[in-house]
């Protein structure tokens, strides 16, 4: 089995080499890019399994690189940022990033995040098919496929896990903290606005598809997948 490929994008060569050392020790193949334009080209050339992407980059910043990658692919992206403000984290998630790590970071933590995101995006090796069906909607977590009216909709891994979790428990209300715990898991260090960002993105994909179900906000509590049959 070929080693999974990680693209590390950062203009700090010391950070790149540190991450390369830790990732290669875990058996990954590592490609490095030091500016945004090089990152887009390296992504096209190497087709990595995951991208570690700094925000403050020359030529194209991390936001622009994330946008370019998301035009073509749902490959998992972990943002690396020296900025700790919630706005930056939420913007990254709105653009389609799967996770983020704030600098300064422990390289071992980054490796743990990489493993977790790859594990989630691969769907594991389970034999049972994880799939739920509703009117005009199929959510397959085994293959990480969302189909609306028979058409596959590009959906990042974390959005898939969230909609599957909600749709697997129809009409049950989940608080944001419950969703963070049950969908993101113990390895996530973010805040509850993350859930709102992912719900917003899912709504853009699912709004008005059917009158038999709805991704619904329960004010002051959280969210539920409401069925009307």
- Annotate the chain with three-state secondary structure: CCCCEEEEECCCHHHHHHHHHHHHHCCCEEEEECCHHHHHHHHHHHCCCEEEEECCCCCCCHHHHHHHHHHHCCCCEEEEECCCCHHHHHHHHHCCCCEEEECCCCHHHHHHHHHHHHHHHHCCCCCCCCEEEECCEEEECCCCEEEECCEEECCCHHHHHHHHHHHCCCCCCEEHHHHHHHHHCCCCCCCCHHHHHHHHHHHHHHCCCCCCEEEEEECCCEEEEEECC
pLDDT value at position 181?
82
Q: What is the pLDDT of residue 33?
A: 97
Q: What is the pLDDT of residues 48-93, one digit of tens each?
A: 999 999 998 999 999 999 999 998 898 999 998 876 656 677 777 7
**Which residue numbers in the chain have pLDDT < 70?**
1-2, 83-87, 122-129, 186-191, 229
Annotated domain spans of the chain: 5-122, 131-227
Q: What is the pLDDT of residue 126?
A: 44
Percent of the chain with pLDDT over 70: 90
Q: What is the CATH number of domain 5-122?
A: 3.40.50.2300
CATH top class, domain 131-227: mainly alpha
Q: What is the pLDDT of residue 130?
A: 81
The pTM of the whole model exceeds 0.85: no
């Amino acid at each position: 089995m070929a080693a999974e490929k990680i693209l590390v994008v950062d203009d700090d060569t010391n950070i790149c080499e540190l991450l390369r050392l830790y990732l290669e020790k875990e058996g990954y193949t590592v490609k490095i890019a030091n500016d945004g334009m090089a990152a887009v080209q390296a992504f096209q050339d190497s087709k990595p399994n995951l991208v570690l992407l700094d925000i403050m980059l020359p030529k194209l910043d991390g936001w622009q690189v994330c946008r370019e990658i998301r035009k073509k692919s749902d490959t998992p992206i972990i943002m690396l940022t020296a900025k700790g403000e919630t706005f930056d984290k939420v913007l990254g998630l709105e653009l389609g990033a799967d996770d983020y790590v704030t600098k300064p970071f422990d390289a071992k933590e980054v490796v743990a995040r990489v493993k977790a995101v790859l594990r989630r995006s691969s769907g594991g090796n389970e034999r049972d098919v994880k799939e739920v069906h509703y009117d005009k909607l199929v959510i397959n977590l085994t293959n990480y496929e969302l189909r609306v009216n028979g058409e596959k909709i590009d959906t990042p891994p974390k959005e898939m896990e969230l909609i599957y979790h909600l749709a697997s428990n129809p009409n049950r209300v989940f608080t944001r903290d419950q969703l963070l715990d049950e969908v993101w898991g113990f390895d996530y260090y973010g805040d509850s606005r993350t859930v709102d960002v992912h719900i917003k993105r899912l709504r853009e994909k699912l709004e008005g598809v059917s009158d038999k179900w709805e991704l619904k906000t329960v004010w002051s509590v959280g969210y539920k997948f409401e069925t009307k049959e």
